[in-house]
C-alpha cells in the first residue's frame, strides 16, 4: 500500500515495522506538504511554528525502534499541538497573542510530556483564535494578531474554519500531520472538527491534565484529539489520559481512564445502542441540505442497529446561561499561568497583556479586547456571589436538569446533535462529546454529527462513533490545488 498524508497511524506503524519507511521520511513528507500549502498555494495558514528539532527527534526515534523496539502506536508519529499548550523547548507558547509572541514556557505541559513519552514527534504548533476566542466579541474564527487568519481547506476564504482550535482543524484536514491536539472550553475542539470534516474528541474534564495549557476556565478547560479517523483519535486520546498530581481535576479519572481506547472500537457498536435525537437546536442555522444530511445520519444509525428515540429534549436547554463563570475564572487562570513564565519575561499579569495591546493597538487590537478588560475588572479571587451562584446554577442545569435528566428519562446511551450544537451544555457539565464527518452539501461544505454522553463515557461514545464511521465512510479529503 502506498503511504500518503492521508495514511492512518496503523498504516504508518505497519510500514515502519516492516522497514519500508521511517519516521524521518514521514516527518519530511509532512514538512514538504506544509511548505506547499500552508504559507503558499491556497495558504491555509494553520501552522504558527515548526519545531526545529522535529527531524532530529524522528531520527532518534527511528534509531530507538531498531535498538529497543517501538514504544507504542504513536512511536515516530508526527503530531501538531495548539499554540496555547506549553512546550519547554525552542518553540514559543503564545495563545496567538503578540504580548506573548516572544515568550517561552519554562517546562512542558502535561500534554506535551505525555506525547514525548509516547514517542510522538512534536512537529510544531498550530494557529488559533487568539486567547482561545476569549479576547473580545465578534472576533473572526481562526484569527490571531500573532498568526493571522487560518483558512478552511474545504473553502478557503469562503467557509468558516471554526474556532478556537482552528489551526489544528485546518492542519489535519490539509494533511499537515497525522493527528493534532486542540483545546476546548466551550466548542473549541468540536466546532472546528465539524467545519473541517474531522473526528474531534472533547473529553470529560479531568481525563486529561490541564497543567501547562494557557487557560480560560478552571471548570471547563480540556485538551483533546483532532484526527481524520475515529481510530486515530482514540489512539491519541489514550496517550494523553492519566492522573497528574499537579492537576487536582485528574484525580476524578482514577480508575475511569484508559491508556488504550482501541479495544472499544467495534464495527457493530451501534447494535442495541439507544440514542436520543436532538432536533430543538436546529432553529434557522441549517439549510435544507444540511437538514437532509442529519436525517441521513439518523437513518444510518437505525440501519446499523441503533434504537433511535426521536426528538428528545433536554429539560434545561433554554436555561439562563450567564457569562460569570468564564469571566471570573479567566483572570485567575491567566495570572497563574503568566507567573510560571521565566522571571525575565515582562508580561506577568492580565493587566500587562491589556496594556501591551493598547500600546500596539494597530497590530494587536483589530477586534478589540472587550473580554480581557471585563475579566480583568473582576477580583481574580473567585469570591463574587455572581460567580459562585452561576457556577452552581450551571452545574445543576447542565447535569441534573440537563444531560443526566434526558439520558435517564429515555434510558439512553447518548444523545445526538447536528453539527456541534449543544456543545455549551456539555461544556458546562464537563461531559464528553465526539464529532464524526457526515457528508457535504452540494457546495462542498462539511457536515458532521456529535455524540454526547455522561462523564467518562468515552468508551461508549467512541464505540458508537466508530461503528457509524465504518458504516458510512463519508469523509472526503479537501481539494488543495489553488
Counting Cβ atoms within 10 Å, is residue 164 exposed (0-12), middle (13-18) or buried (19+)? buried
What grid cell was written down for 74?
504513536
Instruction: Please give the Cα distance from 92 to 84 (Å, whole number).
Output: 9
Instruction: Please give the Cα distance from 76 to 167 (Å, whole number).
Output: 22
The span from the first CA to the last CA of the chain, in angstroms, equals 28
Of residues 134, 141, 139, the one with CA closest to residue 327: 134
| Angle at the Cα of 163 from the Cα atoms of 448 and 152, rounded to 5 degrees | 70
What grid cell was written down for 125?
504548533
Instruction: Please give the Cα distance from 188 to 165 (Å, whole number).
Output: 5
DSSP percent split of the chain into helix, strand, coil, nearest 5: 40, 15, 45
Q: What is the 3-state secondary structure (H, E, C) of 264-330?
A: HCCCCCCCCCEEEEECCCCCCCCCHHHHHHHHHHHHHHHHCCCEEEEEECCCCCCCCCCCHHHHHHH
What grid cell was written down for 257?
481512564
Cα radius of gyration (the chain):
21
Between the CA of residue 231 and those of 183, 201, 235, what are the distances in Å? 19, 11, 6
Of residues 8, 1, 20, the one with CA closest to residue 178: 8
Of residues 236, 175, 226, the one with CA closest to residue 477: 175
Residues 363-383 as b/e (b if ≥16 CB within 10 A, e otherwise) read ebbeebbebbbebbebebeee
In total, the chain counts a number of residues equal to: 482
The upper half-sphere exposure of residue 198, i.e. CA atoms within 13 Å in the direction of its Cβ, equals 40
Residues known to be catalytic = 82, 164, 188
Q: What is the DSSP string of 121-147?
A: EEEEEE--SHHHH-SSSSPPTTEETTT
What grid cell was written down for 91?
518553540
Amino acid at each position: 500500500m502506498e503511504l500518503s498524508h492521508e495514511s492512518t497511524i496503523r498504516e504508518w506503524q505497519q510500514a515502519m515495522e516492516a522497514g519500508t519507511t521511517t519516521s524521518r521520511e514521514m516527518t519530511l513528507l509532512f514538512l514538504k506538504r506544509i511548505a506547499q500549502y500552508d504559507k503558499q498555494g491556497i495558504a491555509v495558514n494553520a501552522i504558527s511554528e515548526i519545531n526545529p528539532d522535529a527531524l532530529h527527534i524522528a531520527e532518534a526515534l527511528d534509531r530507538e525502534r531498531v535498538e529497543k523496539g517501538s514504544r507504542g502506536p504513536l512511536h515516530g508519529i508526527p503530531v501538531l499541538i495548539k499554540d496555547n499548550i506549553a512546550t519547554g523547548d525552542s518553540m514559543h507558547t503564545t495563545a496567538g497573542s503578540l504580548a506573548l509572541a516572544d515568550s517561552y514556557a519554562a517546562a512542558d505541559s502535561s500534554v506535551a510530556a505525555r506525547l514525548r513519552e509516547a514517542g510522538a514527534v512534536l512537529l510544531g504548533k498550530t494557529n488559533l483564535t487568539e486567547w482561545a476566542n476569549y479576547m473580545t466579541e465578534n472576533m473572526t474564527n481562526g484569527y490571531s494578531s500573532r498568526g493571522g487568519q487560518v483558512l478552511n481547506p474545504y473553502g478557503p476564504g469562503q467557509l468558516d474554519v471554526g474556532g478556537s482550535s482552528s489551526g489544528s482543524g485546518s492542519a489535519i484536514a490539509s494533511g499537515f500531520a497525522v493527528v493534532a491536539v486542540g483545546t476546548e472550553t466551550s466548542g473549541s475542539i468540536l466546532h472546528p472538527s465539524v467545519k473541517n470534516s474531522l473526528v474531534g474528541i472533547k473529553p470529560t474534564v479531568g481525563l486529561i491534565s490541564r497543567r501547562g495549557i494557557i487557560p480560560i476556565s478552571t471548570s471547563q478547560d480540556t485538551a483533546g484529539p483532532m484526527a481524520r479517523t475515529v481510530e486515530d483519535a482514540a489512539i491519541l486520546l489514550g496517550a494523553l489520559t492519566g492522573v497528574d498530581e499537579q492537576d487536582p481535576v485528574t484525580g476524578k479519572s482514577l480508575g475511569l481512564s484508559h491508556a488504550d481506547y482501541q479495544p472499544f472500537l467495534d464495527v457493530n457498536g451501534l447494535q442495541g445502542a439507544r440514542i436520543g435525537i436532538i432536533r430543538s437546536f436546529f432553529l434557522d442555522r441549517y439549510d435544507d441540505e444540511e437538514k437532509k444530511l442529519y436525517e441521513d445520519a439518523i437513518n444510518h444509525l437505525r440501519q446499523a442497529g441503533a434504537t433511535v428515540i426521536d426528538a428528545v429534549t433536554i429539560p434545561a436547554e433554554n436555561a439562563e446561561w450567564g457569562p460569570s463563570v468564564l469571566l471570573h475564572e479567566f483572570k485567575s487562570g491567566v495570572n497563574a499561568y503568566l507567573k510560571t513564565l521565566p522571571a525575565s519575561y515582562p508580561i506577568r499579569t492580565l493587566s500587562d497583556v491589556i496594556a501591551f495591546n493598547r500600546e500596539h493597538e494597530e497590530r494587536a487590537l483589530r477586534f478589540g479586547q472587550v473580554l480581557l478588560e471585563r475579566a480583568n475588572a473582576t477580583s481574580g479571587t473567585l469570591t463574587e456571589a455572581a460567580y459562585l451562584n452561576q457556577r452552581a446554577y450551571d452545574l445543576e442545569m447542565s447535569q441534573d436538569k440537563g444531560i443526566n435528566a434526558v439520558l435517564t428519562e429515555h434510558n439512553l446511551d447518548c444523545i445526538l446533535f447536528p453539527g456541534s450544537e449543544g456543545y455549551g451544555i456539555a461544556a458546562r457539565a464537563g461531559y464528553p462529546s465526539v464529532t464524526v464527518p457526515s457528508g457535504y452539501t452540494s457546495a462542498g461544505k462539511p457536515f458532521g454529527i456529535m455524540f454526547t454522553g455522561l462523564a467518562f463515557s468515552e468508551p461508549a461514545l467512541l464505540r458508537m462513533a466508530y461503528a457509524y464511521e465504518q458504516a458510512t465512510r463519508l469523509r472526503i479529503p479537501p481539494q488543495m490545488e489553488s
